[in-house]
Each structure stands twice: as C-alpha cells, then as structure tokens.
Chain A
Amino acid sequence: MSRIITRRRFLIGATMTASALGLSGCDALVESDRTKSVLKIAEGFSMKTQRFLLGDDALAREFTEADLSPVFRANGTSMPDNPQYLDWMNRQFSTWKLAVGGLVERPMQLSLAELKALPARTQITRHDCVEGWSAIGKWTGVPLGALLKTAGLKPEARYIVFHCADEYEKTLDGTGWYYESVDLVDAFHPQTILAHTMNGRDLEVAHGAPLRLRVERQLGYKQAKYLTRIEAVADLGRLYGGSGGFWEDRGYEWYAGI
C-alpha cells in the first residue's frame, strides 16, 4: 500500500528548524502559497489530458501469474491499533461490516461473507507507489460499480469516499484517519474493485484486511486499506482535511494518474 514513509513528523521538526535558521531563497519560494497555487495548475492539466486520452474505460495492463512479485511490499499502516479493529481481527472479521451510505437511495450493510458471495472480478495488476517502487499482485473482489448500482446513487452524487479503520497520524481533531476518494469515472471503471482476496488467499492484515480498494489507473496511495464505510458525496471539502484523501490533505495530488 502506498502510504508514503516520508519521515513526516521528523520533517515538521526539521522544517521548523530550517525556518528558524533562515531558509535559503529557493525553499522560501517553494513554500510560498502563490508558488503552490501556480504549480497546482499542472495537476488539472495532467488529469484533463489523461482523461481525454483514456476515455472512461481504457484498462490498466493485466499481467500473468508468472509476473507476480515474489514479495509484495506492505506500506503505510501494517497493523491498525484501534480496539474496534483488533476486535474484528480477533473474530476473523465475522462481525465486521461494510457500510454503503451517503447520497444513495438504498443504504446497505454487507458482511464479509456477503461480499464474498457477490460476483467477483480477478485481476493481476501492478501497484505503483508514489515513491517510485512497483509490485505486482493478484486481486479478487467485488466491482465497485455493481455495488453502487445496487445501492442506487442519487443524482447529486459526484464522488465516492472510502473511510478506513486506521488512524495513520494521531491528531486531536481526527483528521489523521486514512481515507480516500474517487470520482464516478473511476468508481464505475471495470477494474475498480473492493478486493477481499490477494494472490488467491484472504487479504492479509498488512495489505488491508478484510477489504481494500483497487483503482488500477492511479498510484498506490489511492488503494485505501481497512475499508469500513463507503459514502457517496457531492463534494469533498467538508471531509477531514478537505482535499479528498489522507495524502491529498498533506500536499499530494488528488488525481494520482502520474
């Protein structure tokens, strides 16, 4: 999973030290809000261009069993430490449920057994961490689009938000919980699945048990692990840090296609 091991807490300290010492001209430019807003233009450009070239349904490459990574690196949280999650884990996720809600006609609660009983898609795809490394894994899960059709999206729904069971950064206001979001183009893409099985076995805790998202045309940090709730929303501004994802709230692109 692509949660980036930036030494973030260390960095905050280091950045403050650097500020105290007087930043070099370059870093002052890097940190100016105006510079950041100008550089952000490129993200919109990249997304519009990729969406134009991709169309809605162009598929990410699928590989064969022979291409599987011998060891699939686990990244970010590898063991959520909240009591609720540990309780689910100790009961082999038999009491865990996925909630589907927000702007839907028919909110749902699905157990792991119910999810596994639904028609599934299996795909061998490459996971690309924003840091630069890649790993190939085989994923089996429920197409998100099928689930959303069952729940029935309301017309004002624009994004699908994925809430997770891991608090990746401890904060007082709760903005450190991992979450992610995609728009409806990616939500209904045929390769966008909620994976419960990896390399033919139940998803391991380090890889996001019992359920993780796969959005194959984007980077690793979009592939949220430890899913608990899926919410259809009209806009992302009111959730957590307001940028549509844990890493997005910390400066990374919401559209992670490059």
Chain B
Amino acid sequence: MATIDAGAATGRTVIYRHSLLVRLSHWVNVLCMTVLLFSGLQIFNAHPALYWGQYGADNDPSFISMEAVEDGDKAKGVTHIGSLTFNTTGFLGVSGVDGEATARGFPDWLTIPSYQDLASGRRWHFFFAWLFVINGFIYLAYGLLSRHFRRDLLPAGNELTPAHIGHEIVNHARLRFPKGPEARHYNTLQKLTYVAVIFLLLPLMILTGLTMSPGFNAVAPWLLDVFGGRQSARTIHFLTAFSLVAFVVVHVAMVILSGVFNNLRSMITGWYAIEQEDKQ
C-alpha cells in the first residue's frame, strides 16, 4: 500500500486506499442500483401488491398492497401491511401527477419514467440489471484474484469477539471514527456490513429476480423451491431492495459524518488521508 507522509508537522498521512477497479465498480454500481431501484418501483406500480407462495393475484390474500379508495369525492391512498391499514395519500396509493391526485403505488418522483409506463420501466430495469451483473462478476473475480476480499473485507478472528464489536458500536454511536494505524483498514462493522451486502443482499436480488422469470424457471426450477415460489421471490426481491436502500442511507450518512471530502476523494482518486492519533 503506497504511503505519502505529508510530514509529521501536519500529523497527516495519505495512503492509497481504493484500487482503480474497486473505484470504477463502485460508481458503476451506484448508477446501476439507482436505475434499478427507480425502474423497479415503476414495475411494482403495475401491480402494487405482494404475495407469498407460487401464485398471487387480485383474489388472493396479499400482505403488502397499495390502492386508491373513494373517499367522498376524493381519492384516498391506502397502504395495507398485513391486517393494518394506513392512510398514505400523497405518497403511496394516491399521489399528485401534474397537480392532480392520481392512483399509483409509488409517486412519480420515485419511478423511471415518471409517468406510468411498464414497458419502458422493464427495458431500463433489464438493461441495468445486465450491467450490474457484469460489473459484479468483474468485481468478484478481481476481489478473489487480488486478495481484496481476504485482505480488506474478511474480519480477523480477534475482530469478531463480542467485546471488540461492542466497543466499535459504542464508538460509532459517539461518532468517534478510527484514527492512526486503525484507520488504515476497514473497521469490523464496515467489514461485516460490506460482506453482508456483497455476498448476501446483492446475490439475493439477482437470484430472486431470476426466479420471477418464467424462462429461467425452466432452467433452474430449484430456485422456486429455495424461495417458496415466484410470488415469494417477488416479495423477497422487494424487501431486499429496501434493505439495500437502508444500507445506502446509513452508508452515505457515515461517509458524511466521517469526513465527506476525504471519503469522496478516496473513492474517486484512491488517496485517503489519515489523521494521526492524538498524542497524550
């Protein structure tokens, strides 16, 4: 790992933290996941209800659904989760399109394209799904061959003790981020989160997505058994997507809180500055 010592006087060391391939695949992923989310919500809007099992349509019980119901002379947006019903007018079920209350699952500012157009939504979704998968495979091959996974993401045995993880959680909650030698590598919470996203959530998105394909079902019928059916896979696809949204929210918050300029620079140029530990 290259190091440029900016001089003891400033107390800063600049290290080369992210390789070119990691940086490129990160930003391609940002693009893909953004388009996949918003075009995915467009596709969801074509039938804004989720089921469990092999089949599911209007007459079958759904456990999450959005609909527009008449409320006097107005339309009310309603979201059902299990047996609970929420009034979500303006956001889910009914929202404004050109100033007019319109029946739609997610609002127009969350879908690609903004207006209801399933065919376009699907084309955007599948194009960027391919890009995402190709990018993912390149990243996986690189991560294995360059030992990026083993060196940077695999937690060491002593990092996984409850005491160590507890200590990191407390530090995160106090927004005390590592300095000095500690900041040269990812902390354990980072490692565990990235491992979960890269090896669990993202593959889950791809596999549940493929399980919704009638063609791919004939290729790999066992996926239907793994996820409990096409409609279950569709539901897991949706819930996993929102787990990824939650990850991105926390990830971006951490980027901002732990030094937004330094973090962004390191993901663009590769170079990351480390503050020396406070000398007693």
Contacts and interface: CB of A to CB of B under 8 A. Distances in A.
B99 to A, nearest CB: 10
Interface in A24-82: 24, 26-27, 30-31, 36, 38-43, 45-46, 50, 53-54, 58-61, 63, 67, 69-71, 73
A73 B57 contact: yes
Contact of A219 (B43, B127, B129, B214): B214
B120 A30 contact: yes
Contacts of B216: 50, 53, 257-258
A11 B123 contact: no
Nearest to A50: B215
Interface in B56-71: 56-60
Contacts of B213: 50, 257-258
A250 B49 CA distance: 24
Given A60-B217, A60-B218, A217-B218, A130 B122 contact: yes
Contacts, number: 155
A157 interface: no
Given A54-B215, A70-B59, A132 B124 contact: no
B47 A70 contact: no
Given A18-B98, A73-B57, A27 B224 contact: no
Interface residues of B, number: 45
A43 B214 CA distance: 15
A4 B98 contact: no
A237 interface: no
A88 B43 CA distance: 38
Interface band, chain A: 35 or more
B127 A38 contact: yes
Contacts of B230: 126, 128, 134
A36 B218 contact: no
A5 B173 CA distance: 49
B112 A30 contact: yes
Interface of B: 43-44, 46-47, 49, 51, 54-60, 97-98, 112-120, 122-124, 126-127, 129-130, 210, 212-219, 221, 224, 230-231, 234
Interface of A: 4, 6-7, 11, 14-15, 17-18, 21, 24, 26-27, 30-31, 36, 38-43, 45-46, 50, 53-54, 58-61, 63, 67, 69-71, 73, 126, 128-136, 216-219, 247, 250-253, 256-258
22 contacts: A7-B116, A11-B116, A14-B98, A26-B112, A27-B114, A30-B124, A39-B124, A53-B219, A59-B218, A129-B47, A130-B122, A131-B46, A132-B234, A133-B47, A135-B57, A136-B55, A216-B218, A247-B119, A250-B119, A251-B117, A251-B123, A258-B214
